Amino acid sequence: MARVDSVLLTVAALCFTAATAQQNLPVNQQCLGCICEAISSCDTSDGCSGNVCGPFRITWAYWADAGKPTVNNESPEAASAYANCARDTYCSALAVQGYMNKFQQDCNGDGKIDCDDFVTIHKLGGYGCKGGVITGIYQQRYQQCKALVGGI
């Protein structure tokens, strides 16, 4: 549990910094932390594996749909821009925000857009979340994080 707390504090600090630069971020800091925890245990040491990179396990297409944020004003067209962003906690958190801003929707039909929807969108994609169900370790980690932080 202490690990989740430290992950959430790290992501919260990053989100607070991002929020000062961009006011209309759809995903709150607790939810962002739980997405990170669910998808990778928020492993910031992992680079790229197959077609996914970083603590949020972002694909190139996800990053592109998110608006191609970059680290240190790198050109989005640079060959390394995607991997550099996806591996960087701050930049990848901004990519998640951009993706959710583009694809936010009520996936589970409960009449509201909340973290349950964002977690589903992150795992199943912006076009695959309607009626989709997340399962396995991803769902388990998300539910544990959600119970721990509450209010998401």
**What pLDDT score does 9 carry?**
45
DSSP, res 78: S
Task: Give the pLDDT mean for 93-121.
Answer: 96
**What pLDDT score does 36 carry?**
97
Q: Residue 100 pLDDT > 70, yes or no? A: yes
Q: Tell me how crowded residue 44 is: count the other CB atoms within 10 A of its CB.
A: 16
Task: Give the pLDDT mean for 97-119.
Answer: 96
Long-range contacts, stretch 23-27, CB < 8 angstroms, 24+ apart: 24/101, 25/97, 25/101, 26/97, 26/100, 26/101, 26/104, 26/113, 26/118, 27/96, 27/97, 27/100, 27/115, 27/118
Q: Which of 45-49, 58-62, 142-146 has the lowest mean pLDDT?
A: 45-49
Alpha-carbon Rg for the chain in angstroms: 14
**What pLDDT score does 19 carry?**
45
Say if strands 52-53 and 48-49 run parallel, antiparallel, or are unpaired.
antiparallel
**What pLDDT score does 15 carry?**
46
DSSP, res 52: E
**What pLDDT score does 17 carry?**
45
Q: Residue 123 pLDDT > 80, yes or no? A: yes
Task: Give the pLDDT mean for 128-150.
Answer: 92
Cα–Cα separations (whole angstroms), residue 123 to 3, 23, 146: 22, 25, 16
**How far is Cα 16 from Cα 126, in angstroms, rounded to an integer?**
25
pTM value is: 0.85
Task: Give the pLDDT mean for 66-94.
Answer: 97
Q: Residue 127 pLDDT > 60, yes or no? A: yes
- The secondary element (H helix, E strand) that includes residue 77 is none
The pair of structure tokens assigned to 69 is: 């944020």
